[in-house]
């Protein structure tokens, strides 16, 4: 009797562990649901720039590598005196498959003003469509 227990115990426990792990895997995959099941309609990203030629390309590359694919990038040139505006146009030509808008302001009004004015334009466009 004792020898049967010594032989059967490891086999029975192995089967219990295998069956238990199978049920655990089935249960965890069944109950898993992603936090967001669908991507939102679209996201507009405002990028106000004043003399940002050194950082603009890296910032842009970071934006387009995000998981959300339905994005609109609005690049706002706040009257830069360097090559920021030409870099914006280069990025727009380099990525024709993306929705990229370039807005150039005549005078430097500051980041807050650029963001507020463009946010109101975006809200108006969203409510009209």
Q: What is the mean pLDDT of residues 47-75?
A: 88
Do residues 98 and 64 touch, judged by C-beta distance below 8 A? yes
Say whether pLDDT at 33 is over 60: no
| pLDDT given at position 90 | 94
43-128: CATH topology: Spore Coat Polysaccharide Biosynthesis Protein SpsA; Chain A (3.90.550)
| pLDDT given at position 25 | 86
Q: Which helix (H) or strand (E) holds 57?
A: helix 56-64
Say whether pLDDT at 59 is over 70: yes
Say whether pLDDT at 125 is over 70: no
Domain spans in the chain, listed from the N-terminal domain onward: 1-32, 43-128
| pLDDT given at position 95 | 92
Percent of the chain exceeding pLDDT 70 equals 80
Residue ranges of alpha helices (H) inside 32-68 are 56-64
Query: pTM (2 decimals)?
Result: 0.61
């Amino acid at each position: 009797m004792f020898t049967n227990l010594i032989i059967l115990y490891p086999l029975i426990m192995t089967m219990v562990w295998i069956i238990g792990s199978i049920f655990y895997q089935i249960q965890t995959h069944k109950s898993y649901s992603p936090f967001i099941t669908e991507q939102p309609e679209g996201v507009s990203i405002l990028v106000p720039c004043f003399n940002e030629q050194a950082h603009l390309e890296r910032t842009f590359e970071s934006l387009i590598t995000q998981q959300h694919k339905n994005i609109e990038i609005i690049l706002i040139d706040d009257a830069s005196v360097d090559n920021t505006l030409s870099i914006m146009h280069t990025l727009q030509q380099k990525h024709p498959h993306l929705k990229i808008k370039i807005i150039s302001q005549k005078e430097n009004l500051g980041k807050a003003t650029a963001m507020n004015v463009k946010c109101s334009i975006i809200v108006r466009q969203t409510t009209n469509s």
